[in-house]
């Protein structure tokens, strides 16, 4: 068995590396199996966190299938998040020792507790509403992109099903495996990190070392905090994982079209009317499928782009206030805010390249039409492709207003910097 899965390049004194795009058949099979294992891990967390009702069964005839005990667990999560929201609001409003002890205040007597609880309330509201919004979108059929992962889990990395060339499939396999591995590890780390954070906050508070009563009440509240944060935060993370992982599928499908067009542009003798019709049909099919993905994700992405960006801005702003009270919390807040903004900004920059690649396809179609000996009429498929590409509604959408291009990334950075400055000027005096 071991000989069957060993690297075939070892006989030449070499060995496949996970960073290599071109690998031997045995290593490719191992990578595909591990990539599918990562998909199964993410599916487990998607189900375990009850962030959707029907798991990967998002097609119209399967979406009515509810997971076992979904409604019960969903109500428990709502109760846990709501209970902690009320508790955090009480701790923010009332600075009374008795209430702090009864509610297991992890920041008891901490100088910057007001800033921290405003952050916690904003984060809990943001995460809780995100859960409800995802379930609302699922009921409208806007999460059908999750069915793509069920297809990969079922048939693996089949180039016909994924509509990719061999070269682009190899690149996609490597990217999908790498990203899936990173997210699988991240999801497994979520619960231990949250538990360690809740306990560590109290161990770091000197009041807890001298007051036994607050430890006794905190035992109950730690359980509710962990339950609420785990399902709220990790639920957002697992949906974000799937959104990020679905984009490479469409990117490498588009790159496959670019590759085919480049090949036929260099081989004029092979260009026939059937080839042109096939390339045109594949391009239009791809753009239709990408439009469907856009329709499913544009409102969810707008929530992330606006609400989570503002939350991250507030975390960075709060980090500047917390510097005098706790260097550790200030660093954590800044790292969280900067991390969220970096991820959103990086994805925006990458997705902004979609229009650039469409322009490449447009140029290649023009070259193909110019070099071929086929007579094209205005009703020919290539003209339909050219008209579609030059249309005003191509590209990735944020809501119904913004089409992402690479300049949006610059605007995004400037806008968030200005928001942080406005918060510092207008709100900071009330919190210090």
Strands 402-403 and 397-398: antiparallel
Q: Which of 40, 229, 25 is nearest to 152 (CA)?
A: 40
Question: In a 3-state reduction of DSSP, which class is residue 402?
Answer: strand
DSSP 8-state symbol, 66: P
Q: Which domain holds residue 373?
A: 272-432
- Judged against a pLDDT cut of 70, whether residue 12 lies above it is answered with no
Asked if 243 and 219 count as a contact pair (C-beta separation under 8 A), the reply is no
The pLDDT of residue 8? 55
Q: How far apart are CA 43 and CA 150, in angstroms?
A: 9
Question: Which of 202, 229, 246 is at the close of a domain?
Answer: 246
Mean pLDDT of the chain: 80
Instruction: Give the chain's domain count.
Output: 2
pLDDT value, residue 6? 54
Q: How confident is the model at residue 108 (pLDDT cuts 50, 70, 90)?
A: confident
Q: Give the pLDDT of residue 3.
A: 38
Query: pTM here?
Result: 0.81
More confident of the two residues 271 and 430: 271
Task: Let me know if residue 260 belongs to a domain.
Answer: no
What is the percentage of the chain residues whose pLDDT exceeds 90?
Answer: 1
Q: Do 337 and 196 share a structural domain?
A: no
Q: How confident is the model at residue 62 (pLDDT cuts 50, 70, 90)?
A: low
Instruction: Return the higher-pLDDT residue of 421 and 306.
Output: 306
Write b or e for each residue in 324-340: b if 16 or more Cβ atoms lie within 10 A of its Cβ, otherwise e.
ebbeebbeebbebbeeb
Give the per-residue pLDDT at 431. Answer: 52
Q: What's the pLDDT at 304?
A: 82
Q: Using alpha carbons, select from 365, 347, 360, 363 the residue that is nearest to residue 304.
A: 347
Do residues 232 and 300 share a domain? Answer: no
Q: Is the dihedral of CA 132, 136, 142, 147 positive or negative?
A: positive
| Domain match, 60 and 153 both | yes
The pLDDT, as a whole number, for residue 64 is 56
Region 98-126: mean pLDDT is 85
Q: Residue range 234-243: average pLDDT?
A: 86
User: Do 178 and 326 fall within a single domain?
Assistant: no
For residue 24, tell me if it sits in a domain. Answer: no
221 located within any domain = yes
Render pLDDT for 24-56 as a digit per residue (tens, 0 to 9): 667 777 877 888 888 888 888 888 888 888 778
The whole-angstrom separation of Cα 195 and Cα 151 is: 35
pLDDT at 74 over 50: yes
Q: So what's the pLDDT on residue 4?
A: 44
User: What pLDDT is stored for residue 425 in this prediction?
Assistant: 65
Residues 242 and 334 grouped into a single domain: no
Residue 415 belongs to some domain of the structure: yes
How confident is the model over 183-229, as pLDDT tens digits? 888 888 888 988 888 888 888 778 887 878 888 888 888 899 898 88
Q: What's the Rg (C-alpha) of the chain?
A: 26
pLDDT, tens digit (0-9, with 9 covering 90-100), for 130-171: 888 888 888 888 888 888 888 888 888 888 888 888 888 888
Cα angle 341, 345, 348 (rounded to 5 degrees) comes to 145
Whether residue 275 has pLDDT greater than 50: yes
Verify that 222 and 349 share a domain, yes or no.
no
Q: What is the pLDDT of residue 367?
A: 83
Output the pLDDT for position 5: 47
- 425 and 333 in a common domain: yes
173-177: average pLDDT: 87
For residues 396-415, give the mean pLDDT. Answer: 74
Tell me: the pLDDT tens digits for 342-393? 888 887 777 777 777 888 888 888 888 777 777 666 666 777 777 777 766 6
| Same structural domain, 224 and 281 | no
pLDDT at 296 over 60: yes
The helix, strand and coil proportions of the chain, stated in percent and rounded to the nearest 5, come to 75, 0, 20
């Amino acid at each position: 068995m071991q000989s069957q899965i060993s690297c075939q390049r070892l006989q030449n004194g070499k060995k496949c590396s996970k960073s290599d795009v071109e690998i031997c058949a045995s290593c490719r099979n191992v990578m595909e199996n591990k990539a599918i294992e990562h998909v199964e891990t993410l599916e487990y967390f998607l189900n375990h966190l009850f962030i959707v009702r029907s798991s990967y069964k998002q097609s119209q005839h399967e979406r009515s299938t509810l997971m076992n005990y979904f409604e019960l667990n969903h109500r428990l999560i709502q109760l846990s998040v709501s209970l902690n929201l009320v508790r955090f609001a009480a701790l923010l409003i009332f600075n009374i020792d008795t209430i702090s002890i009864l509610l297991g205040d992890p920041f008891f007597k901490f100088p910057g507790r007001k800033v921290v609880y405003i952050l916690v309330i904003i984060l809990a509201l943001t995460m809780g509403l995100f859960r409800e919004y995802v379930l609302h979108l699922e009921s409208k059929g806007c999460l059908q992109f999750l069915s793509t992962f069920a297809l990969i889990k079922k048939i693996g990395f089949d180039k016909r099903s994924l509509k990719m060339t061999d070269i682009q499939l190899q690149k996609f396999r490597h990217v999908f495996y790498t990203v899936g591995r990173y997210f699988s590890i991240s999801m497994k780390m979520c619960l231990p990190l949250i538990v360690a954070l809740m306990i560590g906050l109290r161990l770091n508070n000197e009041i807890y070392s001298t007051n036994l009563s607050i430890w006794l009440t905190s035992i109950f509240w730690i359980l509710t905090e962990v339950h609420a944060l785990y399902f709220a935060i990790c639920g957002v993370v697992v949906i974000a994982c799937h959104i990020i992982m679905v984009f490479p599928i469409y990117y490498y499908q588009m790159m496959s079209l670019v590759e085919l067009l480049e090949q036929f542009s260099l081989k004029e003798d092979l260009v026939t009317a059937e080839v042109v019709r096939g390339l045109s049909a594949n391009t239009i099919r791809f753009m239709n499928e990408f439009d469907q993905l856009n329709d499913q994700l544009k409102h969810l992405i707008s929530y992330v782009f606006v609400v989570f960006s503002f939350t991250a801005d507030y975390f960075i702003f709060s980090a500047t206030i917390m510097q005098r009270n706790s260097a550790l919390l200030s660093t954590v807040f800044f790292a969280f805010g900067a991390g969220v903004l970096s991820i959103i900004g990086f994805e925006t920059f990458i997705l902004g390249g979609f229009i650039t690649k469409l322009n490449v396809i447009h140029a290649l179609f023009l070259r193909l039409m110019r070099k071929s000996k086929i007579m094209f009429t205005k009703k020919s498929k290539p003209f339909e492709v050219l008209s579609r590409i030059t249309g005003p509604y191509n590209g990735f959408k944020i809501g119904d207003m913004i089409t992402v291009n690479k300049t949006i990334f610059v605007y995004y950075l400037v806008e968030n910097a200005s928001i942080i400055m406005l918060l510092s000027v207008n709100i900071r005096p009330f919190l210090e």
